[in-house]
Each structure stands twice: as C-alpha cells, then as structure tokens.
Amino acid sequence: MGLKNQAVKGVAWTSIGTIGSGLLNLLVTIILARLLTPHDFGIIELLVIFSSLSDIIVDSGFSQAVIKDNNATDTDLSSVFWLNLSIAIVLYLILFFASPFIARFYDAPIMENLSKVVFLTIIFNSLSVIQNANLSRKLAFRPFALASIISIVISGSIAIFLAMQGYGVWALAFNLVGFSFFRMSVLWLLSGWHPKFKFSHVSVKRYFSFGVNLLIQGLLDKLVTNLESLIIGKIYTKQQLGYFSQGRKLDSYVTQATNNIVLKVSYPVLSKIKNNETHLKEGYRTIVGVTMCCISPIMAIMFFGAEYIMNGVFGVQWLPATPYLRLWSICGWCLVVYSIFINIFLVKGKSKQLLHCSIAKQVMRILVIICLVRISIMHMMLGIVAVTLLTGLMYIFFGGKLIDYSLGEFFKDISITFISVVIAGLSAFIITPMIIASNGICALIVLVMILSLVYLLLLLLFKSPYLQTIFSIIKK
C-alpha cells in the first residue's frame, strides 16, 4: 500500500476511533454530570493531574523515539517496555504512600482511598505505551479505534450504573481506571506484539537521548497546564474547580480528538518524507488548512453556544461553567494550530529547540497564574488565553522556519476559514434568540444549523481550496 493510501486509511480509522470514542465519552460525561455534582468532578480533577504527570514520566519520550525509528527490533521494543513498566510501578508506590498527605493538603479525606485506586491507571497505561508506539510506527490505526470505543462503552456503562446507585465520586474513579484497563487489554489482544524477556541498555540509551528533551518538555507542559487546577483546588472550593475543569474538559473533547487524528497520522507519515523539503512543506500546509477548516466551526459553536450547551446538555447546575467554556474554546483553537507546528520539530528531530519554546511558554504561563489567580479565577483565565495566543505565534514562527513556512503564508492559508467562521458565528449568535426564546437544547440546535449553513455558504462563495480537499478525502 502506498504512503498516500496509508495516510488516507490512517485518517479514516483514527477518525472513527477518535470521533467515535469522543462522542461516547461526551455522552458518558453528560450523564454523569447530571447524576453527580461539580464538587465530585473537582475532586477527581486533582487526582487526574497526578496520574497524567506520572504517565509522562513513564513514557519519557520513548514512544516518539520508537515511532521515529523505522528499524526498531524486538530487543529495542522489549527493553523500553520493561523500563516503562518498572518506572510505573515505582511511581504508583510513591503516590500510594503519599495519598494521606495529598488528602490532608486539599482537606478532602476521601482522596486518600480514592487516589490509591485512581493511580492504578499509571500501571495500566504503562503496559500499552509500546503497543501504541509500535502500531503507530506501522501505520496500523484500526486497533486504536476498536480499543478506545470498546473500553469507553464498558467502563462508561459501569460508571453510570455506579452513579445511579449512589456511589458518587467513585463512579468517576472507576470510569478512569476501567477505561485504562480495558483499553490496555484490547490493545494487547489486537497488536500482535508482546514483549520478550530481553533488555538492552544500548537500546534504552539510544532512545532516551532523543526522548529526554520530550520528557522535560512534556512534564513542563503538563505541570504548568494543570498548575491552575492545583492552585484553584487549594485556594478556592472544589465546586469552583469543578466548573473550571468541566469547561476545559468539554473543550478538550474537541481539541484532543482533532490532535489525535491529525498528529497520530501526520507524524509517522511525514517522518517518511522528512528529507524532501518541498513535499514536507506542502504536506504541512495542507494539514494546517484542512484542520482549520474542520475545527473552526466546532470551536465557534462552543464559543457562541456555550450557555446553550451548559444549560441544555449538562443541566442548570453547570451554568457557572459557561464563561470558562467560552475562553477554553479560544485556547483550544490555538492549541490545535500550534500542535501541528510542534509536530514539525519532532519530524525534523529538533526536540531541543522544541524544549526551549516550551520553557518560554511555561514561564509566561506561570507568571500569569501567580499574578492573577488570587484576584479571581476569571482574571487568571483571561491571562491564560493571552499567553496561549502569544505562544501559538511563537510555535508557528519557529516551527515554520524549519520548513520555510512563513507567518504570512500561514495567515494566508487560514484567512478564508477565519473570516467565514467569525461571520457565521456572529450571525448565529444574533439570529438564534430572535427565532427561539429558550436557552436550552432547542436553541443550541438552531444555533448549530445557522452557523453551519452560513459557514459552508461562505466557504463556497470564497472558493476555499481546503473545502475541495475535504470533499476529495470524503469521496475516497
């Protein structure tokens, strides 16, 4: 199968898995949000931060190094696997014995036993790191789709049952742990690769030399990105953290889904043509244009329809999360943009330069959080949006330079999409209240229809080249 056909097939299966699992995950979240309280979601948010940081340490950049290596042997893969698992067990034991201190720090006794269960995800996720990387390296994306969908259906169904039986925050805990366990199990069944009892220090050292910068960058990104939640959980109430984190979670369903589809496929595919500068640049320009064409109306719906989403879908108790969802949707749009350019650094093997950009970004974000968090959560959120916009420009500029892709070319590539989505969003925002007085699900449906129709008509009017590319992909 040719590289182009592999890419198209990869996009198809990754889209099925990501969009399918995203919709199922969103459905589970909606049901749980109606059964549980913002306080429950705030508690679980704090624990997820610890497990997410641990997952990055376990990976240590090895997965990206494996994907980049077209000649990885069983010894190489097995060596990394056993190292990942060993690190995961050590981290789990550390957090297990630290759980009483975590609970005491956040004045939430339930977190002691809850954390011992939630942190099991660290071990389960470590068992699928190399399975993920090996499948990506071979451009085999079907197992990802099946694993994600199957695991969400099983874990989500059990979590909803537990919530209905009055188990509260424990339902959320099982949803996390169950998803990790079932996904790991399905990947092991479908991957066709299992570790051998082999270990090579040479293999680990070779991969770590590439991955160490990604490890530091990943830790910085995850720690600083979640720093506001850690501080809000300490300074403000768990309920306020629940509103803040739910707005971010809803945005992440879209941004993570998009990033998974684009980055999971584009990185291994474009790595194979990294030495052909002309094809590489054109490939990235197409990815940027098509991605922005698809993601922009979704983020506009979240921004302009935030109140309808919270009230109509999640329930009136979640209305205070509306302004956070609006601002997170702006951050999400920027994140999708600059994530594509982060991929350029990886394809070009410039992990050290990527680390420098990441440090600059996180320093700005830390300063904003420290200076504004005690004024109000909203002031801090506005600062985060400003930093995200600035860092987005930084990644676009320096990442683009690696393939001779200028800021001017970037803005030209997204200009039609941006103008169209702004006009469509404003039109829907103004017209919807004139048609329907409700601020619930019916109003959301009307807003989506108006925004989508105006957006599509404008793209056709302006003759967007990326809309034609999307039509071509769909036909295939």
pLDDT digits (tens, 9 = 90+) for 130-164: 777 777 666 666 777 788 888 989 999 999 999 99
Mean pLDDT of 443-453: 93
- What letters, b where the CB count within 10 A reaches 16 and e where it falls short, cover 233-259? beebebbbbbbbbbbbbbbbbbbbbbb
Mean pLDDT of 286-303: 86
Question: Which of 93-97, 146-150, 230-234 reaches the highest mean pLDDT?
Answer: 93-97
In this prediction, residue 274 has a pLDDT band, given cuts at 50, 70 and 90, of low
Lowest mean pLDDT across 51-60, 234-243, 330-339: 51-60
DSSP string spanning 7-66? HHHHHHHHHHHHHHHHHHHHHHHHHHHHHS-HHHHHHHHHHHHHHHHHHHHHHTTHHHHH
Write the CA distances from 350 to 72, 401, 420, 451, integer angstroms: 20, 12, 35, 40
Amino acid at 85: L
Say yes or no to pLDDT of 17 above 60. no
pTM: 0.75
Looking at residue 157, its pLDDT comes to 93
Mean pLDDT of 173-188: 90
Say yes or no to pLDDT of 23 above 70. yes
Percentage of the residues of the chain whose pLDDT score is greater than 90: 23
Say yes or no to pLDDT of 8 above 60. no
Looking at residue 109, what DSSP letter applies? T
Tell me the pLDDT tens digit for each residue of 196-227.
887 777 777 776 766 666 677 677 777 777 78
290 vs 70: which has the higher pLDDT: 290
In this prediction, residue 3 has a pLDDT band, given cuts at 50, 70 and 90, of very low
Say yes or no to pLDDT of 375 above 60. yes
In this prediction, residue 268 has a pLDDT band, given cuts at 50, 70 and 90, of low
57 vs 301: which has the higher pLDDT: 301
Looking at residue 431, its pLDDT comes to 93
Looking at residue 22, its pLDDT comes to 72
Lowest mean pLDDT across 23-27, 95-99, 269-273, 374-378: 269-273
Lowest mean pLDDT across 42-46, 84-88, 436-440: 436-440
Say yes or no to pLDDT of 52 above 70. yes
Looking at residue 1, its pLDDT comes to 47
Looking at residue 14, its pLDDT comes to 55
In this prediction, residue 126 has a pLDDT band, given cuts at 50, 70 and 90, of confident
Percentage of the residues of the chain whose pLDDT score is greater than 70: 84
Looking at residue 255, its pLDDT comes to 74
Mean pLDDT of 272-277: 61
Residues present in the chain in total: 476
Q: What CA–CA distance (Å, rounded) separates 282 from 173? A: 44
Q: Token digits for 126? A: 């470590």
For residues 119 and 50, is the Cβ–Cβ distance under 8 A? yes
Mean pLDDT of 268-291: 71
79 vs 180: which has the higher pLDDT: 180
Q: Determine the straight-line distance between the first and last CA of the chain, rounded to whole angstroms.
A: 15
Looking at residue 449, its pLDDT comes to 94
Say yes or no to pLDDT of 246 above 90. no
Looking at residue 4, its pLDDT comes to 46
Mean pLDDT of 441-465: 91
Q: Token digits for 435? A: 């048609």
For residues 37 and 26, is the Cβ–Cβ distance under 8 A? no
Residue the block writes with tokens 């790991």: 184
